[in-house]
Amino acid sequence: MRYVKPGEIVDDGTGVSRQVLAQNQDLMVVAFGFQRGGTGALHSHPHVQSTYVESGRFRFCVNGESFLVGPGDSFIIPSGAEHGCDCLEAGRLIDCFTPQREDFL
């Protein structure tokens, strides 16, 4: 097992920050910090994504289905699914992607 030091925090200027916590070619773990009102614009990617809500409250939309999540909730976003979120209460999401997101390196 190899210890990986977390990467730098990248702030996108819209109330959302991102930090790669661990990664290899097969899996990537990323923390996203959201200020209230921050959004994750609708998008899709070929990676399977799992999301764990560490803190805060969010409204997610996955393939047109909207749902609310809060601390302790988790869910899977299938490969190719269009998804995004609105932050209702400041918080942090922990996302895992397989394979890794090359665009986050």
Inside any domain, residue 1? no
DSSP string, the chain: ---------EE-SSSEEEEEEEE-SS-EEEEEEE-TT-EEEEE--SSEEEEEEEEEEEEEEETTEEEEE-TT-EEEE-TT--EEEEEEEEEEEEEEEES--GGG-
**CA atoms within 13 A of residue 15's CA, in its CB half-sphere:** 15
Residue 94 lies in a domain: yes
In this prediction, residue 12 carries a pLDDT of 86
In a domain, residue 18? The reply is yes
Q: Is 35 exposed, middle or buried (0-12, 13-18, 19+ CB in 10 A)?
A: middle
Looking at residue 1, its pLDDT comes to 46
pTM surpassing 0.85? yes
Supply the pLDDT for residue 60.
99
pLDDT value for 3: 56
pLDDT at site 4: 58
Domain count, the chain: 1
Domain CATH code at residue 44: 2.60.120.10
Parent domain of 50: 10-104
Q: Which residues contact 24 (CB under 8 A, 6 or more apart)?
A: 100
Tens digits of pLDDT across the chain (105 residues): 455 567 889 998 889 999 999 999 999 999 999 999 999 999 999 999 999 999 999 999 999 999 999 999 999 999 999 999 999 999 999 999 999 999 888
61 within domain boundaries: yes
Residue 99's pLDDT is what?
Answer: 97
